Amino acid sequence: MSEQTLVLIKPDGVERGLTGEVLRRIEAKGYRIAELTKLTATPAQLAEHYAEHEGKPFFQPLVDFMLSGPIVAAVVEGEGVIAGFRSLCGVSDPTAAAPGTIRGDLGRDWGEKVQKNLVHGSDSPESAEREISIWFG
């Protein structure tokens, strides 16, 4: 089986009608969408998903943001997809994210305590395995 990563389209992406655009970029790159679902996250899922950020000043704003509306979760697969999707995303800060990336082309700073940056992608094989089990059991 080729590599898999966990992608989330965050509430800002869904609310702004960018689900199709994000999925289009994933498919246009050549990756395969193996699983896809729209859901409302629970506090327990988010505590687990963002455990590494607990205690940071943006942690509670991040959790509140992720609870603010529906999200889309996907398992995306292909050789090198973990690094490849991070590259498609661009860096976390949408102001700094390069044009051509999802965050660089479609995101901006809205002056809030959390950066609303449209998407999440796993950062390592260990994170991918852990995160896929959070969102897809």
Among 105, 111, 80, CA closest to 90: 105
Q: Which of 7, 41, 62, 88 binds ligand IDP (CB under 6 A)?
A: 62
3-class SS of residue 118:
coil
CA–CA separation, 111 vs 119, rounded Å? Answer: 18
Q: Is residue 120 a contact point for ligand IDP (CB under 6 A)?
A: yes
Q: Is residue 122 a contact point for ligand IDP (CB under 6 A)?
A: no
Q: Is 120 a catalytic residue?
A: yes
Cβ closest to ligand IDP, residue 21 vs residue 58: 58
In sign, the C-alpha dihedral spanning 31, 51, 65, 130 is positive
Q: How far is the CB of 23 from ligand IDP (least distance, A)?
A: 18
Q: Is residue 2 a contact point for ligand IDP (CB under 6 A)?
A: no
Query: Is there a contact between 118 and 65 (Cβ–Cβ < 8 Å)?
Result: no
3-class SS of residue 23:
helix
Q: How far is the CB of 106 from ligand IDP (least distance, A)?
A: 14
Q: Which of 16, 58, 67, 68 binds ligand IDP (CB under 6 A)?
A: 58
| Catalytically annotated residues | 120
